Structure 1
Amino acid sequence: MAFDQLSDFLQKLAHTGELVRIPQEIDPRHQISAITSEARRSDALGGPAVLFESVKGSRVPVVTNLLGTPGRVLLALGDESFEAAGQRLDEWLTPRVPDATADSKFAPVFARLAKLVPRSQKTAFSQQVARLGRDINLHELPFPRSFPGETGPTATCAQLWLTSPETGLKWISAPVLEVGGPQSLLVHWPLTDRGPDIVDEYRNQNQPTPVMISIGGDPLLHLAAQLPGIPDTDACQLASVLREQTLNVVRGRTLELEGPADADFLVEGYIDPQEIDAAQGTVASPSGLLVTRQRLAVIRVTAVTHRSQPVLPYVVHASGNSEEAAWAPLLSQLLLPVMRRIHPGVQTFQFSRDGQGRRIAFVGLRTRFPGHARRILQGLAQWPALADVMLLIGVDEDVAIHDSSTVWQHVAQMSDPVSDFLTVTTVRDSSHRACHDLSRAGTLLIDATRKPDPRTGEWIELADLTPESREAAAIFWRSIRGER
């Protein structure tokens, strides 16, 4: 079951002992990020969520490391496994017309999914307090400035909602937003984000781009914003399916756009066609590197509304120890059904925990002919959703890809550096500082699937026991050791 309100999720964390409250006044400039990083470093599991109840210069509390462990991500989902969320998305992406006899078992599935349609409200908690026009001052909100070198405070746990003027479909993404002034935000869009394309659609019509930004509310909304755009799907419907509960939305005070009714903050504004490439700034990217981007779009804020007692969530983009590492298991399962529709040979997928963020990924493949795995890997490397992946390893579908040591064992046994290692040119965002020329950035592909023996033509097999033999041996061994 989804948590409509961020406060409900925080109460649940407090009840389970996974929330630390800090009543002392804390400076949002560097101090919040330093304390959060220390909380994560001191706990191998990822540390607790940290609620800063008194932030210097603001009356609004800040919470960090909210989804900093896989367990808290599962708690937000309300599922027992990440696979359940992936299955739910797969069911939604595979529409079928149920037959009264043959498909009667699918009727409950369709009935449940049919209810997951966003519902508009006339009033909302996210609009209990409103500031419009010149009454807006973004500097009064406790947006942290995490690291020296950043040019301004940032919102790193905000969802940006756009509506395509050509299709009418909503789009959601989560770029870093930098406070550029009392009534302006700078958008640090990643290179592969579709947001600039929608802005161009409005510019071609010589119109400003209306923008709705939500902060807080259901923690899952920020994870929904991490998913790639799925063709012909609406972001509000996608969020409802992920939450397995209807997303309540409300129309803005100054815009026709709708935003989550239960968010802690809603920020409304527009991007003027003349200010699409009007600014530059430096912020910490999700990769943990300071990145300077040129030609940033400027959002002119027209309204800021919020709950009577809001909380501002924030993600610290620290190098090597980011909260986003805990999101990898869920994002892997949510990307899988989309990936299968592009390449049916894909059976399993997992971002490796050994990689910073989403730098390393493993994929289990069902191959039908020699060279099939290589073709699939080359196609996946060009997919924008995997633009951050620098090492993509393909193994057979029966390999346990959640265990990185098993994957590396297959790399050692089933691949040859000359014939099975391939570097392909891909789109690379400027956050990859190791790449000196973004036009020639690449992804390393390793084909570690079984292949025909060049001497005999027969498919190579690992020397392994049958599952029955393994189970019998395990029972025997436990018996002689006096174990159950």
Structure 2
Amino acid sequence: MPFKDIQAFMKVLESKGQLKRITAEVDSDLEITEITDRISKEVGPALLFENVKGSKYPVLINAMGSYERMSLALGVDKLEEVEEDIANLINMQNYIKTPKLIKSIPSLTRLLAVLPWRLPIKGACQEVIEHDPDLSTIPVLKCWPDDGGKFITLPLVMTKDPDTGVQNTGMYRMQIYDKNTTGMHWHWHKDGREIYDKYRKLGGKMPVSVAIGCDPAITFSAIAPLPKMIDEMMFAGYLRKWPVKMVKSITNDIYVPADAEFVLEGYVDVNEPLRLEGPFGDHTGYYSLADMYPVFHVTCITHKKNAVYPTTIVGRPPMEDCYMSKATERAFLPLLKMIYPEIVDYSLPFEGVFHNCVIVSIKKRFPGHGKKVMNSLWGMGQMMYAKMIIVVDETINPHDIKAVTKQVFESIDMKKDLVFSEGPLDALDHASANDHYGYRLGIDATKKFKAEGNNIRWNCQVKSSLELDKYLESHEKIASFNYPINGAMQGALIVSINKSESNDAKKLIKELWNHEDMKYNKFLIVVDKDVDANDISTVAWKVFNNIDAKRDLLIEEVNFDNEDCFGHRLGIDATKKFKEEGHNREWPDDIVMSEDIKKKVTKRWSEYGFEKNI
């Protein structure tokens, strides 16, 4: 059976030892974030803060912050079951022959749960109705020190298309401006923005209702990259195996989940000037920059008598949103395979923060098949944001990062196997020269047919060199370095650099390649000095975030006489870019908690009820 609401989910979490109650008074400004960030990095429990300064409502956070809890939220033992379930539903072979059709009757019957129920009465979300709304009564978090304010981070923003009357549900962060106005973060590529643009042509006020705190399957459905013809509440009904109960908002014609904790009702005046929103510490691990967005006017707040405020924080991975991303990955693999049957599997690694890296394995059948797949994916909905797509053969598990890395490092030729695709990018991409637009990188690491040329294998032996080590250690620009001589990354030198001038990183790459002991180096990655070159996960996160494929890759041909070593080598400049390097936009800061809050939380750690300080 589905969870009736988020509080039913909380009870199950607590029964399984997956929820920690914190009774000590905590501040919604930064303190809850720092506590949660430490816990989420250790894949710790969901947290219920029962005593939030200045508010009577408890705060629930990190509720889906593990594979176990994310699976539980969707009613399965493991996320792969969601994949199998949807795969069986859309497999038309199940409906062709009578025996298979009979076996499929339970799945078909379950489709009756897809359509939400619209109740003629008030819902639990409307036990209390406040026509003089005050958002300050809700314990909305200020997540990070440089945030523009407090942000609602798990809102289900519900709007209605004025042409079709069809409702849309999306998750768009909402900055609190004052007691009854917020920002509405609709950027270009989102469905909410498209509906807003339709209302702009009509003029007047656009009705909006925002549900906060629903059954986790409903919340998950709001972030799912669904085709436009599929209603999010229908998808939630399928996942829950039971219809979503909906009730009409008190002040507009939008229907909302009946068992939500809070509902904010109001409007966006499409004739009103846009307002500055942000900055915001985002899921990329960087602050998204302030920009102009529509204003949401809250005219009514409804809620349960004993409401709980669910929220989340995002930042440098891993965090709660990473597990939501993995659930999305599993749920939509069957749809990808239905459209492109050659796809075997794919992975969205945590370091790629949803849209910066996609690894896909395929059954390769013809020359150029790998390039065909990556270009196809860039043409699919939110896959257009994929900043890097790596294609490997079906023998490579895309979730095995070491195997993928080994295949890429050993097999690709940088001149033939890299694809530079110019096109749309996510609004959060900060490395491109232009907003929303730039270069994406495709890496074809599949085995090559004769027509594609021979596979290039870097056969040079990488040896430890005391002279090279001394050179790197004494170099005035190098803060740390990592030169693995064994394993998947053999010969891939990583250096962190004290960058003070434009093109310092590219100059260093060329300088190092001229060193005698570096002549066999195939990959050279340069990151900023604040990154430990030995922390491979952080290095990968910086590479996925900080490069524009066209600007920041250096390719050099290598062909040593009388030696079995040839091909091309690659230098990657993953450092922060200056204007002189062709980056005229503001470069955002990494998200870092302030030292005073860190010290405060460390000092109070035992007060929160934790035994081990982290």
TM-score scaled by length of structure 1: 0.87
Would you say the 8 A contact 1:145–1:154 is kept in 2?
yes
Distance (Å, rounded) in 2 between the aligned partners of 1:295 and 1:345: 42
Matching of residues 110-121 of structure 1 within 5 Å: 110-121=108-119
Match of 1:15 in 2: 15
Distance (Å, rounded) in 1 between the aligned partners of 2:424 and 2:452: 38
Amino acid at match of 2:37: S
Match of 1:471 in 2: none
Match of 2:215 in 1: 218
Matching of residues 111-260 of structure 1 within 5 Å: 111-121=109-119, 122-132=121-131, 135-260=132-257
Structure 2: 5+ residue stretches without partners? 458-614
Match of 1:477 in 2: none
Q: Please tell me whether residue 275 in structure 1 is matched to residue 276 in structure 2.
A: no
Match of 1:478 in 2: none
Amino acid at match of 1:126: C
Question: What SS does structure 2 have at the residue aligned with 1:111?
Answer: helix
Amino acid at match of 2:110: R
Matching of residues 366-445 of structure 1 within 5 Å: 366-438=363-435, 440-445=437-442
Match of 2:44 in 1: 47
Amino acid at match of 2:274: D
Question: What SS does structure 2 have at the residue aligned with 1:275?
Answer: coil
Deviates more, 1:6-15 or 1:379-388: 379-388
Question: What SS does structure 2 have at the residue aligned with 1:26?
Answer: coil
Structure 1: 5+ residue stretches without partners? 461-484
Question: What SS does structure 2 have at the residue aligned with 1:54?
Answer: coil
Question: What SS does structure 1 have at the residue aligned with 2:129?
Answer: strand
Would you say the 8 A contact 2:48–2:59 is kept in 1?
yes
Residues 282-312 of structure 1 show CA distances to partners (whole Å, capped at 9, x for unaligned) of 2222223222242201111121111111111
Distance (Å, rounded) in 2 between the aligned partners of 1:126 and 1:321: 32
Residues 2-30 of structure 1 show CA distances to partners (whole Å, capped at 9, x for unaligned) of 21211111111212222111111111111
Deviates more, 1:116-125 or 1:26-35: 116-125
Distance (Å, rounded) in 2 between the aligned partners of 1:168 and 1:87: 33
Given the superposition, is the C-alpha separation of residues 111 and 180 from structure 1 closer, same or farther in structure 2, using an over 3 Å criterion?
A: same
Given the superposition, is the C-alpha separation of residues 210 and 94 from structure 1 closer, same or farther in structure 2, using an over 3 Å criterion?
A: farther
1:96 Cα offset (Å)? 9.2
Would you say the 8 A contact 1:92–1:241 is kept in 2?
no
Distance (Å, rounded) in 2 between the aligned partners of 1:101 and 1:27: 61
Distance (Å, rounded) in 2 between the aligned partners of 1:33 and 1:439: 29
Match of 1:360 in 2: 357
Given the superposition, is the C-alpha separation of residues 184 and 455 from structure 1 closer, same or farther in structure 2, using an over 3 Å criterion?
A: closer
Given the superposition, is the C-alpha separation of residues 257 and 378 from structure 1 closer, same or farther in structure 2, using an over 3 Å criterion?
A: same
1:86 Cα offset (Å)? 2.6
1:324 Cα offset (Å)? 1.2
1:353 Cα offset (Å)? 3.2
Distance (Å, rounded) in 1 between the aligned partners of 2:94 and 2:161: 29
Amino acid at match of 2:431: A
Distance (Å, rounded) in 2 between the aligned partners of 1:91 and 1:161: 30
Distance (Å, rounded) in 1 between the aligned partners of 2:344 and 2:255: 37
Distance (Å, rounded) in 2 between the aligned partners of 1:99 and 1:353: 40
Match of 2:478 in 1: none
1:346 Cα offset (Å)? 2.5
Would you say the 8 A contact 2:187–2:193 is kept in 1?
no
Amino acid at match of 1:264: E
Given the superposition, is the C-alpha separation of residues 179 and 106 from structure 1 closer, same or farther in structure 2, using an over 3 Å criterion?
A: same
1:349 Cα offset (Å)? 1.8
Higher relative contact order (CA 8 A, sep 6+): 1
Distance (Å, rounded) in 2 between the aligned partners of 1:128 and 1:230: 34
Would you say the 8 A contact 2:129–2:303 is kept in 1?
yes
Amino acid at match of 1:274: N
Given the superposition, is the C-alpha separation of residues 59 and 230 from structure 1 closer, same or farther in structure 2, using an over 3 Å criterion?
A: same
Deviates more, 1:267-276 or 1:352-361: 352-361
1:234 Cα offset (Å)? 1.6
Would you say the 8 A contact 2:113–2:238 is kept in 1?
no
Distance (Å, rounded) in 2 between the aligned partners of 1:443 and 1:127: 47
1:163 Cα offset (Å)? 2.0
Would you say the 8 A contact 1:70–1:326 is kept in 2?
yes
Would you say the 8 A contact 2:113–2:237 is kept in 1?
no
Distance (Å, rounded) in 2 between the aligned partners of 1:131 and 1:412: 60
Residues 48-96 of structure 1 show CA distances to partners (whole Å, capped at 9, x for unaligned) of 1111111111101111111111110011111123232234344555789
% of aligned pairs identical? 27
1:253 Cα offset (Å)? 0.2
Q: What value does the CA root-mean-square deviation take over the aligned residues?
A: 2.5
Residues 88-140 of structure 1 show CA distances to partners (whole Å, capped at 9, x for unaligned) of 344555789957836333222211212332111212111111111xx101111
Q: Which has the greater radius of gyration?
A: 2
Would you say the 8 A contact 1:224–1:238 is kept in 2?
yes
Given the superposition, is the C-alpha separation of residues 58 and 387 from structure 1 closer, same or farther in structure 2, using an over 3 Å criterion?
A: farther
TM-score scaled by length of structure 2: 0.69
Amino acid at match of 1:2: P
Given the superposition, is the C-alpha separation of residues 457 and 20 from structure 1 closer, same or farther in structure 2, using an over 3 Å criterion?
A: closer
Distance (Å, rounded) in 1 between the aligned partners of 2:211 and 2:26: 24
Matching of residues 444-459 of structure 1 within 5 Å: 444-453=441-450
Given the superposition, is the C-alpha separation of residues 358 and 65 from structure 1 closer, same or farther in structure 2, using an over 3 Å criterion?
A: farther
Amino acid at match of 2:142: R
Q: Please tell me whether residue 107 in structure 1 is matched to residue 143 in structure 2.
A: no
Would you say the 8 A contact 2:180–2:297 is kept in 1?
yes
Figure out how many residues of one structure are paired with residues of the other and give that number.
Answer: 454
Would you say the 8 A contact 1:129–1:308 is kept in 2?
yes
Match of 1:32 in 2: 32
Residues 124-178 of structure 1 show CA distances to partners (whole Å, capped at 9, x for unaligned) of 111111111xx10111110010112212111111111122222333222111111
Question: What SS does structure 1 have at the residue aligned with 2:223?
Answer: coil
Distance (Å, rounded) in 2 between the aligned partners of 1:145 and 1:99: 55
Deviates more, 1:306-315 or 1:105-114: 105-114
Deviates more, 1:346-355 or 1:311-320: 346-355
Distance (Å, rounded) in 1 between the aligned partners of 2:89 and 2:204: 34
Would you say the 8 A contact 1:89–1:242 is kept in 2?
no
Would you say the 8 A contact 2:211–2:257 is kept in 1?
yes
1:413 Cα offset (Å)? 4.0
Counterpart among 299, 302, 305 of residue 302 in structure 1:
299
Question: What SS does structure 2 have at the residue aligned with 1:188?
Answer: coil
Question: What SS does structure 1 have at the residue aligned with 2:210?
Answer: strand
Question: What SS does structure 2 have at the residue aligned with 1:266?
Answer: strand
Deviates more, 1:260-269 or 1:86-95: 86-95
